[in-house]
Copies of this chain bind each other. A is one copy, B any other.
Amino acid sequence: VRITDLGEFSLIDRLKQIVDTERSDIVVGIDDDAAVLTDHGDTLLLATVDSHVEQVHYLPYLSTPQQIGRRALVVNLSDIAAMGGYPQFALVSLALPKQTDVEWVEELYRGMQAEAGRHGVAIIGGNITSSPSGVCIDITLIGRVHRSHLLLRSGAKPGDLVLVTGHVGEAFAGLHLVFNPRLPVDPAIRTRLITRYIEPQARVAEAAAIARLQVATAMIDVSDGLSGDIGHICEKSGVGVRVWCNRLPVSSEARQVAEAMDTPFWQFALDGGDDYGLCFTAPAEAVDTIVTTVANETGTSISVIGEIVPAAEGRTLVLPDDQAIPLSTSAWQHFRVTENT
């Protein structure tokens, strides 16, 4: 069997059978945005790794090396944030073609260091090796979380509401604009959305504010596509979900791209993951507090987009005309063509 036939998540499921993570010092193994390890007292250690591969995760002609470096770190910052934790240390492993310019690597590092500095992260080491083909940037991020702030994928309960930070689908719209340069979209909007794709922001401050309130029940970062990421919460929490299309926070700019592509706006929102927003669940009575606190502390808006239901009710998407269809969990899988709903 080729991995392209099996898909990324099925492959991970098979590999989980091989590794042994049943240990008293492991709180959560490979089932969440980051691994959770016992530390000392009420603090837990977090560790996560993510790759940025040329042509797969970034297009070298589209971004400066500083932007590539920043983005490579952002995807990791987002994972630590989604656990309710704070990032501390990064290890950077680079595989580089021999002909790479030293200045390019220095610029890449300047981008990483700038992003690291913004979030109090120190780059503590790494590795550089030659690559027979393109660039591969692997970053491991280590952080910590107070035990009472920890947010897993597995805590959602029927009756909870589903929330997201900011707008969804903007970076995805930007990526479409890169591949479809002739789409009739206003140039200023084009630039803004492509920048959202190239320069995503990790929602570290938003995640910290949510975690500190200790009312959210589950959290994940939106990296694989919102529908797929909600699917991860459902799977780990053993629940179903109902997502309301009309409540998805899609900006007028992203709607304009969707329209130009003859695609429903909600498809952009559900398929897009490159915004690196947060998706989380909380009891209805806690929503006002969360929305107000996050807005006050970070200026970021929070939207209620759905509700958690018992697993037996499945995962559904309520279309703008009130028709309910199955929520496709078409998470971006690196070994599969993205299935569009």
Contacts and interface: CB of A to CB of B under 8 A. Distances in A.
A35 B110 CA distance: 20
In the complex this chain forms, how many copies of it are found? 2
A4 interface: yes
A330 interface: no
A26 interface: yes
A244 to B, nearest CB: 32
A105 interface: yes
A21 interface: yes
A108 B125 CA distance: 26
Given A18-B110, A35-B124, A125-B35, A105 B25 contact: no
A265 B140 CA distance: 40
A103 B99 CA distance: 34
Contacts of A53: 95, 129-132
A142 B47 contact: yes
Interface in A1-59: 1-4, 6, 8, 11-12, 14-15, 18-21, 23, 25-26, 29-30, 34-35, 37, 39-41, 47-51, 53-57
A96 interface: yes
Nearest to A31: B125
Interface string A93-116: 101101111110110011011001
Interface in A273-325: none
A142 B142 CA distance: 10
Interface of A: 1-4, 6, 8, 11-12, 14-15, 18-21, 23, 25-26, 29-30, 34-35, 37, 39-41, 47-51, 53-57, 88-89, 91-93, 95-96, 98-103, 105-106, 109-110, 112-113, 116-117, 122-134, 136, 138, 140, 142, 334-335
